[in-house]
Structure 1
Amino acid sequence: MRRFITLILFLCCISYSICDKCNVPPEFWCSSPEIAAKCEVTRQCQSYFSTQLRQADMVNFTLYFESNCPDCKNFFRSQLSPNYEKLSGIMNLTLVPYGNAREQKSGSGKWKFTCQHGKEECIGNLIETCAIHLMKNISSYFPFISCIENDQFAEPQDSAEKCAKKLGVDFKSIKECTNSDLGNKLEHEMAVRTDALSPPHKYVPWVTLNGVHTEDIEQQAEKDLVKLICGAYKGSDKPAICGEIKTTRRCYRY
């Protein structure tokens, strides 16, 4: 299905000059509603999105962050890390390690990244991006990335080495990836996803709920992620943690 849609989009690109308006390769146009809107192919991607929704009635929650950002680390520590496993049955979590970085193509054809918190943050972003690619399943790579982000005082690479040893993760292959053409390409893909956000992100952590970002969603996520996800889930089979949400009680007149 994905390959068929990619072919259709490529033909549209040739026929209607969409390529002139969109700097994202066709194979990524259906990777998120934000990119589809930017490239003016929402209608063409709709069948792919609908298939995803039919396969799982989950809440799609995406976190755009950077590896050495104090506020991102706080979001992991206070909201995401303690609650992810409890919500994993109703939440599709996507992590995008790039944040406020900038990219520029070098003379060698590779991408050069400049990060808000310096070179070490760029290395951290690459480590987390390579971990996502190499470890495949979020149930495998989330504990590793969560461990890195919960280390408040060490540089990302030092945290990654400690966390890999603690969790039995093959850090050698991840490190090799960060220095490879593959790692460079993977981080560029994170840049493409981040730069395609609509509205454009103004800060990190930046979240989308089912592809949508508003200030209200952001504030709810940072204040009480469990309440946000449980409220957005439409299924009747909510996990136990949803029943633990504290609600305001009132005494009404009679």
Structure 2
Amino acid sequence: MNGWVFCCVVFVAAVSVCYGECRFPPSLWCSSLEIAKKCQVTGQCEEWTFPSVNDVRPVNFTLYYESLCPDCRNFFADQLNLAYTKVGGIMNLTLVPYGNAREKQVGSRWEFDCQHGKEECVGNIIETCAIYIIKNITVYYPFIHCMETTDGLPEDAAAKCATKFKGIDLDKIMGCSKSSLGNELEHQMALQTNALQPPHTYVPWVTLNGVHTEEIEHKAETDLVNLICQTYQGLKPAGCKKEDNYQLHSCPRN
């Protein structure tokens, strides 16, 4: 089946099933076998999208947040860490520390205005530099999670957390955060956040395989483990809860 035919099939299906048994945005129809069955596009998805057993891809999950946001911190503590611990092997996690900040260019540098004040901007850049310098998420995620669940100023939290984990070069991270490199890296986080479609209107803001809907957001904030497990197309790991039968149920808003 070529791309034109598949798009036609999807368009016809969208008209006929959105308010029937299928209540998913078209972008998710091939994200899992269960959704494809509901939306009557199983054959098309199997031919066009579904990978073989040996080619199953992890679920891409991106969190857009800001370092001192109470709701973002709660999300780290209540949902993200549990999901990363239990089903991190089937999830490609991306962290984007910028959130509701705003930026303007002054000369060769960027100035950031953060929702929770200057210290939040400091925290954002420290975490951005940690991601850039460490590169390995299995090392930088525990460090950032620690920062997001530690009270106090971001620099103090970074110093405390750096002592708890191996592979954290705090001097390099802090040096980056005060340099033109850190300034440019945070600008890149701003570009990534501002490119969201639909544009973000709050934080934490999440995307699942590049898609954001209110249903995805609600599920991520209430049961992220199950959301990742239901979206994953391969054999579920032990961390997935077998008893859950979560289904997304909203069509796109007009």
TM-score in same-fold range (> 0.5): yes
- The structure whose RCO (Cα within 8 Å, separation 6+) is larger is 2
Secondary structure (helix, strand or coil) at the match of 1:208 reads strand
For structure 2, list consecutive stretches of 5 or more residues without a partner in the other structure: 1-48, 247-254
Paired residues of 2:82 and 2:225 also in contact (CA < 8 A) = no
Give me the whole-angstrom Cα distance separating, in 1, the residues matched to 2:64 and 2:154: 17
Give me the whole-angstrom Cα distance separating, in 2, the residues matched to 1:66 and 1:244: 33
Moved over 4 A (4+): 244-248
**Which residue matches 2:129?**
130
Alignment of 1:1-254 (within 5 A): 57-107=57-107, 109-151=108-150, 153-168=151-166, 169-236=168-235, 238-246=236-244
Give me the whole-angstrom Cα distance separating, in 2, the residues matched to 1:191 and 1:95: 12
More helix by share: 1
Distance 1:245 1:76, change over 3 A: farther
* Alpha-carbon shift at residue 114 of structure 1 (Å): 0.6
Paired residues of 2:66 and 2:100 also in contact (CA < 8 A) = yes
* Alpha-carbon shift at residue 155 of structure 1 (Å): 2.0
Secondary structure (helix, strand or coil) at the match of 1:68 reads coil
Secondary structure (helix, strand or coil) at the match of 1:94 reads strand
Secondary structure (helix, strand or coil) at the match of 1:63 reads strand
Secondary structure (helix, strand or coil) at the match of 1:241 reads coil
Q: Deviations over 1:115-164 (max 9, x none)?
A: 0000100000000000000001111100000001112x312221111001
Which letter maps to 1:67? S
Paired residues of 1:227 and 1:245 also in contact (CA < 8 A) = no
Q: TM-score if structure 2 supplies the norm length?
A: 0.73
Identical pairs, percent:
60
Give me the whole-angstrom Cα distance separating, in 2, the residues matched to 1:170 and 1:158: 15
For structure 1, list consecutive stretches of 5 or more residues without a partner in the other structure: 1-49, 249-254
Distance 1:58 1:195, change over 3 A: same
The count of aligned residue pairs is 195
RMSD: 2.1
Distance 1:178 1:56, change over 3 A: farther
**Which residue matches 2:17?**
none
